[in-house]
Amino acid sequence: MKELDMQRASGMAAFEAKEFANAWQMLLPLAERGDPEAQHRLAIMAQNGLGRVKSDTEAYKWMCTSAEQGFALAQHGLGFMYLHGECAARDPAEAVKWFRRAAEQGLAGSQMTLGMMYEQGLGVEKNEAEAKKWYSRAESGD
């Protein structure tokens, strides 16, 4: 297990150092084994063409895989994909579903986005009380 932890740390360090081709090589085996953070990083690299050719299909696949395991940052990323029609068909209602999952885990960015969606009636019925609830949770760090 220690070898996987070292590989993971090395892959994350390569990502942070913007050595994306190396990060991809180190994180891919971990992502294939089910590591949600590695999957999320691969999605970001594929979505933005970092260290490899941009691939919406690959970005969506890895973002979904990570999000479905409950990784809040990937849930936010998947919500963003659906909200803006990036790597996936634009679907505000589906975006709300994923932003809510991340927001319920305390991710402030998702809470703010969810508040905005309720305020504007984007993907959900317009609901000022619900918007205020999510804005408040984001501000309080809840």
Position 1 pLDDT exceeds 80: no
Q: Does the domain at residues 72-142 carry the CATH identifier 3.40.50.10320?
A: no
- Residue 2 has what pLDDT? 82
pLDDT above 90 as % of the chain: 93
Residues 78 and 86: their CA atoms lie apart, in Å, by 9
With a cut of 90, say whether residue 142 has pLDDT above it.
Answer: no
6 φ, ψ (degrees, to nearest 5)? -70, -40
| Measured distance CA(116)–CA(126) in Å, rounded | 10
Helix intervals (H) in the chain: 2-16, 20-32, 36-48, 56-68, 72-84, 92-104, 108-120, 128-140
Q: Where do the domains of the chain lie?
A: 1-69, 72-142
- Mean pLDDT in residue range 69-92: 98
